[in-house]
Amino acid sequence: MSSEATKPAGWMARDFTASIVVFLVAMPLCMGIAIASGVPPEKGLITGIIGGIVVGALAGSPLQVSGPAAGLAVIVFELVRDQGLSALGPILMMAGIIQFLAGVFRVGGWFRAISPAVVHGMLAGIGVLIVIGQFHVLFDATPLSSGLANLAAIPGRLLGLSPDIRQTELALALGIVTIVSMIGWEKIRPASMKLVPGALVGVLIATAIAFFMALNVTRVEVPESIVAAVALPQDGFLTQFLNPAVITAAIAIAFIASAETLLSAAAVDRMHDGVRTNYNKELRAQGVGNLLCGAAGALPMTGVIVRSSANVQAGAVTRASAILHGAWILAFVALLPWMLREIPMAALGAVLVVTGVKLVNLDHAKHLFKDYGILPALIWAVTLILVVTMDLLTGVLVGIGLSLIELLPNLRRLRLKVDETETEQGRTLTLDGAATMVSLPKLSERLDAMPNGSNVRIDMSRCTAIDHTCSELLRDWCSRRRAAGDTVTLDGANDRMNKLAAA
């Protein structure tokens, strides 16, 4: 961290600038994710406001930004379709309570033990569902009830195009303009404007074309007052907490939102050398946020990597940036709602199509296969396929079940002993036993407790086995410490582990 950033004027200026960048990234995503979730766009804006102002103030990850997440859009769409919008409030309130209690009882580390293959497979499956669902929004149409139904309807949409200029063709043209503008901007934008997000450029261009040409396309609908969008709990909502379907959905959202948040926080930690994430504090903050979102009838929230990475890249130093970005959303929605009502729905659908494509990270699948073999890659693929063809929860649970296969060779000795010694040359961490997902919370805690600025030697001569979940943890930790200027060496590791640690 620079000396300038430690001065009040320095960090205030950097956080102020970063907050505007995050606000510009967040606005189209908040509305687009709401539409993809089957709810009015203002619901996403409310979640963005709460995620910024409230969760930003309480967060355990200072530079992470919270808001509506594409990763939950599919499950929310199904919940609203099957149980109605009124059930979403109690579900989120219960999910928030579960997350808060998880933080209180310090189980944040266990969420990090979920296999990376499962998490990335889940995100890839969600990305596919978003793309094939929002594809129909590009035609000013409503997505269908399931991923397979959306996929089957795509040829009909394309064959239904006509040389006559109708609403459908106009909407599709605006969507294509948005996508081309987003991708083109990312490739050709000048260095002086590197912080201006492509999503904003694409939406602005499509909106300007629709406005000045007075095109007959569906536009975003938002209320005159953001207060009118707040749907407080109604009489009888407490009885919903006894509904088994509500309880199951709350557990699913709490689990998935927590996993996505903590993985995002770990990714954000790798982007900067400031204060590390307190995972249990972050869980408590997310719990409060989702509890408030449920009370306001809004969307669920998680820590989100796109907005968080924009925050770090824009030079944010403290949590003030995340808080301010929520304040900018509130001010914009309160003062300029008429401007939002000029945005074509197809433009927001296009933003989500690009976002969904980015979630399908084939490079991660290749990395799993190349460095860890067929099983992790198979877990990734099965999770993805089941998320698309069945539902999100089934895909995740089956993926977690498959990841337990990695434990089978080490069932007789799952225990990992971690000893730390200090010498004049630095600190030595000795791993004795099997480093698997079962022992990951302990290993993660000991690694994070190692003081910065010290030389670290990790003795793995007595480590009988290490699965890909712990390998990824160790690889990321070594990379982060070396980037900070520390010396990290691995002794007694096998060739594969040495190769990964050196990457």
Identify the CA nearest to 127 among candidates 107, 102, 147.
Answer: 147
* 143-to-68, 353, 449 alpha-carbon distances in Å: 19, 13, 47
pLDDT of amino acid 302: 94
Domain boundaries, the chain: 8-345, 361-410, 416-502
Give residue 189's pLDDT.
Answer: 85
Residue of 171 and 356 predicted with greater confidence: 171
Q: Please check the confidence at residue 351 and state whether its pLDDT lies above 60.
A: yes
For 65-86, how does the pLDDT look when each residue is reduced to its tens digit (9 = 90+)? 999 988 788 889 989 988 888 8
Express as a percent the part of the chain with pLDDT over 90: 33
DSSP state of 277: P
* Structure tokens, 486: 């520390």
User: Does the pLDDT at position 193 exceed 60?
Assistant: yes
| 203 has a pLDDT exceeding 60 | yes
pLDDT of residue 210: 95
Choose the weakest-confidence range: 117-121, 128-132, 481-485: 481-485
pLDDT in tens, 247-280: 999 998 998 899 889 878 877 876 777 787 888 9
pLDDT greater than 80 at residue 211: yes
At residue 361, the 3 state secondary structure works out as: coil
**What does 444-466 look like in DSSP terms, one character per residue?**
HHHHHTSPTT--EEEEEEEEEEE
Contacts for 261 with CB less than 8 Å, ≥ 6 apart: 64, 66, 282, 283, 286, 302, 303
Question: Please, are residues 54 and 36 in contact by the beta-carbon 8 Å criterion?
Answer: no
pLDDT over 80 (residue 353): yes
Q: What is the mean pLDDT of residues 102-107?
A: 91
pLDDT the model gives residue 231: 83
Q: Tokens at residue 421, please?
A: 């010694």
User: pLDDT band for position 285 (50/70/90)?
Assistant: very high
**pLDDT, tens digit (0-9, with 9 covering 90-100), for 476-493:** 888 878 877 888 888 877
Average pLDDT over residues 110-122: 83
Among 336, 303, 81, smallest CA distance to 222 is for: 336
Q: Give the whole-angstrom CA distance, residue 147 versus residue 133.
A: 7
Q: Which of 10, 45, 12, 41 is nearest to 26 (CA)?
A: 45
Best-predicted range by mean pLDDT among 18-32, 286-300, 487-501?
A: 286-300
198 forms beta bridges with none
Tell me: pLDDT of 19 over 70: yes
Does residue 204 have a pLDDT over 50? yes
pLDDT in tens, 313-335: 888 889 999 999 999 999 998 88
Distance CA 184, CA 34 (A): 25
Task: Look over the chain and give the mean of its residue pLDDT values, rounded to a whole number.
Answer: 86
Query: So what's the pLDDT on residue 469?
Result: 87
- pLDDT band of residue 496 (cuts 50, 70, 90) is low
User: Residue 449 pLDDT more than 50?
Assistant: yes
97, two tokens: 């309570």
- Amino acid at position 481, single letter: R
Instruction: Report whether CATH 3.30.750.24 matches the domain 416-502.
Output: yes
Can you tell me the mean pLDDT for 100-113? 86
Q: Which carries the bigger pLDDT value, residue 155 or residue 228?
A: 155
| 364-386 per-position pLDDT tens digit | 899 899 888 899 999 999 999 99
